């Protein structure tokens, strides 16, 4: 929830209030003597590391997506399987080959 800064038009006092957007709308209607002040521009975050703030569940989900789309930009970023590895996996599923019972030849 954001902080909102209001100025009392009668006294000139400046106060900060922490509330949701819907609560702010009701607060403004109930307090017509307060005007909202814009104290600064919104902060923009840039230059973050792609993998630094992701939990393991999200990383696993991204890797599954990258495996399904090996030629995508996401596969390059996440380090998904190559298209050859994906084709091998699809062939083994198609022919119902277990990893333990048959070995596939290297191409």
Task: Examine the domain organization and report whether 89 and 61 are in the same domain.
Answer: yes
Q: Say how many C-beta atoms besides its own lie within 10 A of residue 34's C-beta.
A: 20
What does pTM read for this prediction? 0.39
In a domain, 7, yes or no: yes
pLDDT at position 43 over 70? no
Structural domain span for residue 16: 3-37
CA–CA distance from 23 to each of 29, 103, 105 (Å)? Answer: 10, 64, 65
Q: How many domains does the chain have?
A: 2
Q: What is the pLDDT of residues 57-92, one digit of tens each?
A: 888 888 888 878 877 778 777 766 666 776 777 787
Q: What is the pLDDT of residue 6?
A: 94
């Amino acid at each position: 929830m954001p902080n909102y800064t209001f100025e009392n038009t009668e006294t000139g006092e400046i106060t900060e209030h922490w509330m949701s957007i819907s609560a702010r709308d009701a607060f403004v209607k109930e307090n017509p003597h307060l005007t909202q002040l814009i104290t600064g521009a919104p902060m923009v975050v840039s230059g973050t590391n792609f993998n630094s703030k992701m939990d393991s569940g999200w990383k696993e989900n991204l890797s599954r997506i990258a495996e399904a789309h090996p030629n995508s930009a996401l596969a390059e970023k996440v380090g998904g399987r190559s298209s050859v590895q994906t084709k091998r996996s699809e062939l083994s599923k198609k022919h119902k080959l277990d990893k333990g019972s048959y070995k596939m030849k290297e191409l």
